Amino acid sequence: MEKLIESKLVKAHNAFTEWKNVPFEEKQKLISKAADIFKDRAVEFGEIITKEMNKPISQSIAEVEKSALMMDYYAKAENILQPEIIESEYSISEIHYVPKGVILGVMPWNFPFWQVLRFATPSILAGNTVVLKHASICFGSGNAIEKVFLEAGFPEGVFQNLEVGHKEVQEILEHKAIAGVSLTGSEKAGAEVASIAGKNIKKSLLELGGSDAFIVLDDADLDKAAKTGALARLQNCGQTCVAAKRFIIEENIKNDFLAKFILEYKKFEPKDPMDKETKIAGMARPDLADDLEKQYQKAIENGAEVILPLERISDNEFVPGLIKVEEGNPILQEELFGPLGMVMFAKGDAEALQIANDIPFGLSNSVWTNDKIRQKFFIENLESGTVNINRMTSSDPRFPFGGTKTSGYGTELSLLALKEFINVKTIIGA
């Protein structure tokens, strides 16, 4: 291991020995200061995001602002980590919540500020310190976040960005200073990191891929569903784990809905990401565009029908595509991470549910119906971490976020996230 990385891990551990004892309210004051900096300089940080991974500037700025709002939530959050007194026959019977130590964050490029801060903020507030391994194209974002923490007054070592590649992750995770890891990324990366953590008896939290269903039933508001559905698939150029990827339409409304949906879909035309009016730009890297193109061809070779062709117009830009897919097409078992959507038809609620659940992923689903009984049916039976009714998936700091099946495990956001990297200590006195 390089001496610089070793020294940063040691610094993080040394910082933890003092940071864990800082009162919860004092930690919150620093988080509030950092949130103010992100809010005040959202345009500056948004430009970093856009330059690194091509996100439209308006969406980049919104990402920074949303990160600040999330930090404000934790800056005012209830302290659920105070010792709990348990009624018993003992003279002392308490539960204490003790931070684990240094937590490694392995974070992706698609939301380079939000993903990092979503993981780091509750971890740090709980008393841990954080080291970040960001995506290689987002080192600028990682360094900017570290500078904000220092500017806000956090002690050195509480948050550090490590400019390392994937090859260094195993050695870092195996280091004695590291107590746990949180990864947002692909199923493959999650399995590798969780395996390393497991072998070393270290806690892991995984937020992995998805192939979310967007179910439209015959009593839905079709205009709203069509407009929201296009945004849900194509926001951030479709490079979102919780993007709507499979549109499951009740068969008796397929023509009406598709006409509206295609009209909305075509409004997303690739343009300059630095233009505030741009709704969609290029993908983050040309190799990712190559992968999407291969998946598109694979789907067609296995029987998918083209509704709107996926047209590549540069090394990383596409005119968004839409395909009709039948059950059994192997593409349904993969995640499409780009501007390509899949349409499927169902004869009724039971078939729509079966199609929605018949994938290895279980992140978040969206159901469009105004019937309370139908809503309850899908709420109770969809296999996912989140179910949205008449809205697209979007995370909210007040509510837990996480997946099931191969979409991962563990909780981000909400007060529950404060207990993810915590040891529970039982105290009993005779």
Active-site residue set = 207, 241
The tokens for 401 are 């976020």
How far apart are alpha carbons 264 and 201 in whole angstroms? 49
Do residues 74 and 123 touch, judged by C-beta distance below 8 A? no
The tokens for 39 are 């809010």
How far apart are alpha carbons 102 and 114 in whole angstroms? 20
Determine if residue 318 is left, alpha or beta; phi over 0 gives left, psi from -120 to 50 gives alpha, anything else beta. Answer: beta
What does the chain come to in residues? 430
What are the start-end ranges of the E strands in 187-337? 203-207, 212-216, 244-250, 305-308, 311-312, 318-319, 321-324
- Note the Cα 333 to chain centre separation in Å: 20
Do residues 69 and 395 touch, judged by C-beta distance below 8 A? no
84: which strand partners?
Answer: 95
Alpha helices in 133-285, H assignment, sequence order = 139-152, 169-174, 187-199, 222-234, 254-265
Determine if residue 382 is left, alpha or beta; phi over 0 gives left, psi from -120 to 50 gives alpha, anything else beta. Answer: beta
How far apart are alpha carbons 35 and 115 in whole angstroms? 15
Give the three-state DSSP class for 304.
coil
CA distances 186 to 190, 238, 319, 384, 428, Å, are: 6, 15, 25, 17, 43
Do residues 110 and 53 touch, judged by C-beta distance below 8 A? yes
130: which strand partners?
Answer: 103, 159
How far apart are alpha carbons 1 and 175 in whole angstroms? 10
49: which strand partners?
Answer: none
- Number of other CB atoms surrounding residue 387 within 10 Å: 18
The tokens for 216 are 């439209």
340-346 and 364-368 strand pairing: unpaired
Angle among Cα 38, 66, 264 to the nearest 5 degrees reads 135
318-319 and 364-368 strand pairing: unpaired
